[in-house]
């Protein structure tokens, strides 16, 4: 083989190695640990995009079980993020916002069936009201060891525009009420509608929360801020298991952020 041919092959191989390395680095930077965000599990999917039917929810949980996903607690997810640890493939966490009664009626039995942990963030001021969880259901799920209960504040209002006194009350009082009723620490906060700013995050830390979850703060928000954790909203479009597979891949957040931009 001529020297020129060998040189061309060497250059080409080196170029391909660089391209592959760049692609792998790009994929690594695009990955965000998928934390799924559910709201209502009911049959109102035609009326609300935040609803997931009980049948679809069971199919999704069965999909996770059949495909051997590593479903972890939010606490464990925070540990991965905070310590910059390598996340095992197919690792996700599951959350529910608002504390609807249908989470207990439809989601909880399925989670028990498949042994899948989840966190439910309850609006403390809504507990016991029509359509919302009561203390009996909340305590039962908390005591099961499968469900973590977190705070979704007292009134589910827009936090960034509140005066500091009211803001601290929303965060501190909801945490204390839940802890007193459940007899265990409440370490997780979920911002209503994902709304937060630096002052809100500071108050969350001062209130004693170990982390706080948002929705999708945007393309330029860091992926490792444990007081503004990004999540993937699961809605009626996720009835399609191919869509659900993409959403649980770890790359959906990157895709959505760049698509929205």
Q: Which CATH superfamily is domain 34-260 in?
A: Glycoside hydrolase/deacetylase (3.20.20.370)
pLDDT computed for residue 1 by the predictor: 55
Instruction: Give the whole-angstrom CA distance, residue 205 versus residue 6.
Output: 60
How far is residue 79 from each of residues 51, 87, 131, 149, measured CA to CA in Å? Answer: 30, 10, 33, 18
- The token duo for 208 is 């004693």
Assigned token pair, 153: 């504040």
d(CA 35, CA 118): 10
- Whether the model clears a pTM of 0.75, i.e. scores above it, the answer is yes
Residue 28 confidence (pLDDT) = 55
The helix-helix angle for 164-182 and 135-143 (nearest 10°) equals 70
Residue ranges per structural domain of the chain: 1-30, 34-260
Q: Low-confidence residues of the chain, pLDDT below 70?
A: 1-28, 260-261
Per-residue pLDDT at 18: 34
- Residue 256 has a pLDDT of 85
pLDDT of residue 261: 52
Per-residue pLDDT, 3: 56
What is the pLDDT at residue 216? Answer: 78
CA-nearest of 80, 19, 103 to 250 is 80
| Contact status, residue 226 vs residue 185, Cβ threshold 8 Å | no
User: Considering only CA atoms, which of 183, 110, 98, 97 is closest in space to residue 146?
Assistant: 110
Query: Which pLDDT does position 2 carry in this prediction?
Result: 59
């Amino acid at each position: 083989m001529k020297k020129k041919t060998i040189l061309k092959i060497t250059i080409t191989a080196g170029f391909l190695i660089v391209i592959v390395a760049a692609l792998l680095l790009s994929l690594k930077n695009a990955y965000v640990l998928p934390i799924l965000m559910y709201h209502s599990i009911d049959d109102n999917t035609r009326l609300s995009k935040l609803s997931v039917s009980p049948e679809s929810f069971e199919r999704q949980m069965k999909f996770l079980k059949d495909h051997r996903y590593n479903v972890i607690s939010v606490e464990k997810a925070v540990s991965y993020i905070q310590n910059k640890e390598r996340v095992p493939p197919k690792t996700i966490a599951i959350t529910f916002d608002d504390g609807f009664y249908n989470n207990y009626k439809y989601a909880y039995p399925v989670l028990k069936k498949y042994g899948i942990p989840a966190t439910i963030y309850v609006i403390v001021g809504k507990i016991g009201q029509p359509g919302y969880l009561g203390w009996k259901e909340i305590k039962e799920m908390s005591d099961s060891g499968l469900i973590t209960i977190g705070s979704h504040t007292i009134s589910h209002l827009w936090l960034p525009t509140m005066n500091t006194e009211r803001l601290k009350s929303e965060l501190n009082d909801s945490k204390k009420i839940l802890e007193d009723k459940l007899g265990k620490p409440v370490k997780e906060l979920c911002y209503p509608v994902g709304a937060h700013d630096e002052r809100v995050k500071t108050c969350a830390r001062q209130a004693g929360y170990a982390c706080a979850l948002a929705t999708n703060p945007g393309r330029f928000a860091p992926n490792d801020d444990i007081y503004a954790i990004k999540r993937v909203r699961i809605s009626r479009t996720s009835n399609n298991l191919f869509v659900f597979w993409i959403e649980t891949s770890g790359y959906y957040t990157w895709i959505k952020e760049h698509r929205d931009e």
